[in-house]
């Protein structure tokens, strides 16, 4: 499909699976994916699932490179793991992307309970997520909106171990998250915190940064916020 064709609005007859695969192509082609007025909320999360897959194309770090088959990790088929923590809004959104591969590796999706699921009879939640060991294996972690009260408790233990953290909630970048989805003009857009990525030794390629609606450098430990890019059209 030509770039011009990729930019056209699909008709009502377009199937969900084609729409999601198109969304995956759109980010690679440099065009933001639209959430059209006649689409259900599930369409929004299918588009976001496609973005989560494709973010890995634009990210470099030692952990990903080692697991791609260097001498320390001889198995090149070790999967890329997308984790989802909290009340999952994706439902079956990943289904159309089931057989896709990134970096010639299969992608698996793992789901983790939210903090409130581990509350004691008095309603107190643990200071550290009980599934932290499994979360640390992830390459991408989507933090669901249900975890907004606990977002710092999720991010703090993993902020230096090379996990790309993503959400769609206000204040996520300011809490130390790396990528936050927003809806603007019925399109799925995203904003990036480069300081958080650098702390985790993740290199986000300039092509992805150019697609971002907003790029900031915010380190919550220092209270420093430098907006680098107000908007990318």
Q: Provide the Cα torsion 85, 89, 93, 95; round to 10°.
A: 50
Q: How confident is the model at residue 153 (pLDDT cuts 50, 70, 90)?
A: very high
What per-residue confidence (pLDDT) applies to 151? 96
* DSSP H helices in 11-121: 16-29, 41-55, 62-67
How far apart CA 215 and CA 219 sit, in angstroms, is 13
Domain boundaries, the chain: 14-229
pTM assigned to the model: 0.80
3-state secondary structure of 189: strand
pLDDT tens-place string over residues 162-198: 999 999 999 999 999 999 999 998 889 999 999 999 9
pLDDT tens-place string over residues 30-88: 445 666 544 556 889 999 999 998 898 899 887 776 665 444 543 556 888 999 999 99
Q: Is residue 193 a contact partner of residue 205, using CB atoms and an 8 Å limit?
A: no
Residues 6+ apart with CB under 8 A from 42: 16, 91, 92, 93
Structural fold of domain 14-229: Rossmann fold (3.40.50)
Burial class of 30 by CB neighbour count within 10 A (0 to 12, 13 to 18, 19+): middle
pLDDT: which is higher, 152 or 227: 152
pLDDT tens-place string over residues 203-229: 999 999 999 999 999 888 676 566 555
């Amino acid at each position: 499909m030509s770039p011009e064709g990729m930019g056209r609005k699909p008709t009502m007859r377009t199937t969900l699976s084609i729409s999601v695969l198109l969304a995956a192509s759109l980010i690679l082609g440099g065009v933001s994916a639209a959430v059209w007025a006649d689409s259900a909320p599930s369409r929004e999360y299918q588009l976001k699932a496609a973005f989560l897959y494709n973010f890995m194309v634009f990210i470099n770090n030692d952990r990903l490179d080692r697991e791609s088959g260097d001498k320390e990790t001889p198995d090149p088929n070790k999967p890329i793991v997308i984790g989802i923590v909290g009340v999952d809004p994706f439902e079956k959104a990943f289904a159309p992307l089931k057989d896709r591969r990134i970096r010639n590796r299969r992608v698996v999706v793992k789901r983790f309970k939210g903090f409130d699921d581990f509350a004691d009879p008095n309603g107190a939640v643990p200071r550290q997520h009980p599934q932290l060991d499994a979360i640390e294996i992830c390459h991408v972690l989507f933090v669901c909106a249900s975890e907004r009260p606990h977002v710092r408790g999720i991010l703090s233990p993993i902020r230096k171990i090379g996990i790309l953290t993503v959400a769609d909630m206000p204040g996520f970048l300011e809490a130390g998250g790396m990528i936050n989805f927003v809806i603007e003009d019925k399109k799925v857009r995203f904003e990036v915190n480069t300081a958080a990525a650098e702390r985790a030794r993740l290199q986000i390629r300039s092509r992805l940064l150019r697609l971002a609606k907003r790029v900031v450098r915010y380190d919550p430990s220092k209270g420093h916020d430098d907006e680098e890019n107000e908007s990318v059209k």
